[in-house]
Amino acid sequence: MTSTTTTPRSATTAVALSGVTKVYGRGSSAVLALDGVSLDVAPGEFVCLVGASGCGKSTLLNLVAGLDRVSGGQITLAGDVNPGLMFQEPALFPWLTVDANVEVPLKLRRLPRAQRRERVAELLRTVHLGDFGRKRPHELSGGMRQRVALARTLALDTPVLLMDEPFGALDAMTRDILHDELERIWSERQLSVLFVTHNVREAARLADRIILLSSRPGRIIYSTEVTIPRPRRIDSPEVAAIAAEVTERLRTEVGRHGQ
């Protein structure tokens, strides 16, 4: 068994998975969730993971984030990096203001109070919520709460961002707006992003590369680079063509397992 390790920062790899396997349980009740997954994410690369439900996409993110341990293989992060992880639900503290929610990771990093305030203000401006710091989560729309969650994740000041269907519960227009915001922040900060989604068009809209996982156990069965110039529109013919190709391969995989 191995766990996530760190190495001196590489010019070519931000996250490296080598033969990663994850098994839940033991003996006859053991479930093989991931089987020999090897994947490199370059600095500044946006990689989307797609696949049928239960194929291990979220499990893979949890392993990279260090929330769970691999059963075999190795995960290597370049430099002294703790990835930021953003879930589908904002998971904000309802009793705290927006400012205070974003400040939480800064407190954990023991930054001085004045520096925390300055950083929170900067992060809220980054996600276009500069005037909402005194609001509480229940006073915000779903899209605005996700922006707060993104600002809180960015407060970790990490070059690696893990995103587990962060926009899946949002309406199409809000999701499209947040695609633009995420793409802008990713480009400005040169982040490495590993993004899980069930929406193949979303993957084609955002990704530099799309990775398709097989049905359980999860294995990489297809990878394609998305070379469509940015900025992209989710309803463009070019995005639709990439999405159709990936969807056809996904449909074949799901059919193969009778799902």
What's the pLDDT score for residue 8? 42
The torsion angle over the Cα atoms of residues 6, 9, 12 and 16, rounded to 10 degrees, is 10
Place of tokens 């949890």: 62
161 DSSP β-pair partners:
84, 193
Concatenated DSSP letters of 25-85: S-GGG-EEEEEEEEEEE-TT-EEEEE-STTSSHHHHHHHHHTSS--SEEEEEEESS---EE
Instruction: Give the pLDDT confidence of 193-210 residue by residue, as tens digits.
Output: 999 999 999 999 999 999
- Of the candidates 248, 245, 212, the residue with the CA atom closest to the CA atom of residue 228: 245
pLDDT of 59: 94
pLDDT the model gives residue 155: 94
- The residues spanned by each domain of the chain are 92-157
Query: CA of 73: how far to CAs of 31, 104, 108, in Å?
Result: 17, 33, 31
- Mark 208-233 as b/e (b = at least 16 C-beta within 10 Å): bbbbbbbbbbbbbbbebebebeeebe
> Using an 8 Å Cβ cutoff, are 154 and 185 in contact?
yes
Answer with the residue of higher pLDDT: 179 or 54.
179
- The pLDDT of residue 259: 53
The model's confidence at residue 62, banded by pLDDT at 50, 70 and 90, is: very high
CA contacts within 13 A on the Cβ side of 90? 23
Decide the pairing of beta strands 46-50 and 72-78: unpaired
Helices and strands (DSSP H and E) totals, the chain: 7, 10
Q: pLDDT-derived band of residue 29, with 50, 70 and 90 as boundaries?
A: confident
Torsion angle of alpha carbons 171, 192, 38, 240, nearest 10°? Answer: 40
- CA 169, distance to chain mean position in Å, is 15
DSSP letter (8 states) at residue 131: T
Positive or negative, the Cα torsion across 56, 59, 65, 70?
A: negative
Q: d(Cα 167, Cα 220) in Å, to the nearest integer? A: 24
User: Mean pLDDT throughout 132-145?
Assistant: 95
pLDDT tens, position by position, 96-126: 999 999 999 999 989 999 999 999 999 999 9
Partners of 222 in the beta sheet?
212
Determine the distance from the C-alpha atom of residue 252 to the mean position of all C-alpha atoms in its chain, rounded to a whole number: 25
Give the integer Cα–Cα distance in Å for 257 and 82: 36
What are φ and ψ of residue 201, in 5° steps?
-65, -40
pLDDT band for position 28 (50/70/90)? confident
Work out the mean pLDDT of the chain and round it to a whole number.
91
User: How many percent of the chain have pLDDT more than 90?
Assistant: 80
Token pair for 240: 């639709």
